[in-house]
Chains A and B, each alone.
Chain A
Amino acid sequence: MAIPVIELRDVTLDYGSEVVVDRVNLAVKRGETKVILGPSGVGKSTILKAILGLLKPKAGEVIIHGTPISKLPERELVKMRLRMAMVFQSGALFDSMTVGENVSFRLREHAMAGEEEIERRVHEVLTFVGMHGAVRLSPAQLSGGMKKRVAIARALAPDPEVFLFDEPTTGLDPINLFNIEQLVLKLKQRQNTSLVIVTHDVESAERLADSIVILHGGKFIFEGTPEELKKNSDKRVRAFLDPGASQWGGANNV
């Protein structure tokens, strides 16, 4: 059996005294798109940060490409990170740099290519996300949807094996939401590319995912395909999918 690209074994994550993720297990296979679904503030983004090694688990092990990362020295951790790319919820574009400098950041920082090749690659990925005219703009001149598209271009530029998306469609209008989803679907078609997407948007998750996990109360309460999710009868899962009459939301509980 092939080694998962990303594996979480009994991982517990905390912020000081508050445990946000409690002994969870997760495996992402090569070429798979895994969506972590759950309401806001349950620790979904925290899991992405743990996968990148930005956050050390309180317990358990994060294993990337078969290597446990918790005890890796920073230099090895950086090498591991360079095989992945993350699209942050806010885009997290460096506001002291232009769009072009943002997109080429990793390529230049790690001397991954010559200047001509970098220019070509920047043009290519900005064209891929429909932002080829924005190379000299600063992030402050971009709308929310444009920032997300540039963030995707920045993630795409070094051609990583794994993409981590933190709430890629949150706060977008329907047109931008559609555009971003189309971009993610285009990425899915690339061979051997794995995607981990964190979202609270059920419909978006069903459109994008090969498999879905639902995080609730620090635990995964569901794991399966979008079709299995639709058929699932677990009360907590139903409550999340149909919050009208649930403890998870709805005006009845206000």
Chain B
Amino acid sequence: MELGAIASFTKMGVVSIFRPPYKKSITRRQMDEIGAGSLPIVTLTGLFMGLVLALQGIVELRNIGATSYIGRAIGTTVIRELGPVLSSMMVAARAGSAIAAELASMAIGEQIDAFRAEGSDPIKKLVEPRLVACTLMMPVLTVICDFIAFFGGWIIACQIVQITSFFYWDSLFEVLTPAFIWGGLVKSVTFGFLIGAVACYSGMSTSFGSSGVGQATTRSVVISSISILAVDFLLTKIFIITWW
């Protein structure tokens, strides 16, 4: 039932995106809050993802004498799967929850009703800029996360395990094909859109006092995370059949 409500709410948001006037300044502010605000956490996620992947990968590859392929393993895993998924999870936890809490506070404080009472459209004013900002900033953050993860992998592979930088980067760039790059970007755009839609819905549908803010925040993170994982599976299946 909630999925139906989210779908119908999202449809209103999407329709609003294609209907002028455009709230450019609010959207820019949201892009700054979501993008710049999530950058530290996404950077750290990328770094530790790269470090751990390299450690785990080298242990396995050493058994078969193929440690020089570590760049390839990291490149494939990060760009196709872990980069978009983990960075999106972090953005859902940081920016999605903030959006849900902000809109929930506004709903409880009757500000959403006040927008409508003033003849304004809260979907246009509040939902559209956040939806657009999440959708546009997520691929940017994913690309940054991916490169930091590559760098993290390089630290372990080249500085600790003594694989040459040339081998590492050469094997890594081998897998950065347009199909993989575009696949990763399509995933991150989709996840960004999902995060924005779920966070806005969770916030604006709040109606139970101050405890509702906490519930909206939790609901936003849980639904976003599950949706990201489910949609990731679906997109991966589609990409394997078509592009990859």
Specify which chain A residues have a CB less than 8 angstroms from the CB of B115 in the assembled complex: 94
Quick one: closest A residue to B108, CB to CB? Answer: A90
In angstroms, Cα B125 to Cα A106, docked, is 13
Segment of A77-85, A194-202, A206-214 in the binding face: A77-85
- Inter-chain CB contacts under 8 Å: number: 47
Cβ contacts under 8 Å, B119 to chain A: 78-79, 81-82, 106, 109-110
Interface size bucket, B side?
10 to 19
Q: Shortest beta-carbon distance, A164 to chain B, in Å? A: 8
Alpha-carbon separation in the docked complex, A210 to B239 (Å): 70
Compute how far the CA of A93 lies from the CA of B118 in the bound complex, rounded to whole angstroms.
11
A85 to B110, CA, bound (A): 14
Let me know if B120 and A92 touch, CB within 8 A.
no
* A54 touching B120 in the complex, CB below 8 Å, given contacts A90-B109, A90-B110, A95-B111: no
Q: How near does chain A come to B107, taking the closest CB pair, in angstroms?
A: 11
Q: Kindly state the separation between the CA atoms of A60 and B97 in the bound complex, as whole angstroms.
A: 40
CA distance A75 to B120 in the complex (A): 10
Interface members, chain A 61-90 (any B CB < 8 Å)? 78-79, 81-82, 84-86, 88-90
A49 contacts B by Cβ under 8 Å: yes
Asked whether any CB of chain A lies closer than 8 Å to the CB of B117, the reply is yes
CA distance A88 to B109 in the complex (A): 9
Shortest CB-to-CB span from A172 to chain B, Å, is 17
Report if B11 contacts A (CB, 8 A): no
**B117:A94 contact, CB within 8 angstroms:** no
Tell me, yes or no, whether B62 is within 8 Å of chain A by CB. Answer: no
For B110, list chain A residues within 8 Å (CB): 88-90, 92
Residue in chain A with minimal CB distance to B102: A96
Chain A residue at minimal CB-CB distance from B111: A92
Report, as a range, how many residues of chain A touch the other chain: 20 to 34
Decide: B114 and A88 in contact? CB cutoff 8 A: yes
Min CB gap B204→A, angstroms: 14
Per-residue interface assignment for chain B, residues 86 to 117, with 1 indicating a CB less than 8 Å from any chain A CB and 0 otherwise = 00000000000000000000100111011111
Q: Is A52 an interface residue (CB 8 A)?
A: yes
A49 to B111, CA, bound (A): 13
Does A240 sit at the interface, judged by CB under 8 A? no
B118 neighbours in A (Cβ, 8 Å): 81, 105-106, 109, 154
- Give complex CA distance A154, B114 in Å: 11
Chain B contacts of A81 at CB under 8 A? 116-119
Across the interface, which residues of B come within 8 angstroms of A106, CB to CB? 118-120
What is the interface of chain B, defined by CB distance below 8 A to chain A?
106, 109-111, 113-120
Pull 22 A–B residue pairs with CB atoms less than 8 Å apart, ordered by A: A52-B116, A52-B117, A54-B113, A54-B116, A81-B117, A84-B117, A85-B117, A86-B117, A88-B110, A88-B114, A88-B117, A92-B109, A92-B110, A94-B111, A94-B114, A95-B106, A95-B109, A105-B118, A105-B120, A109-B118, A109-B120, A154-B118
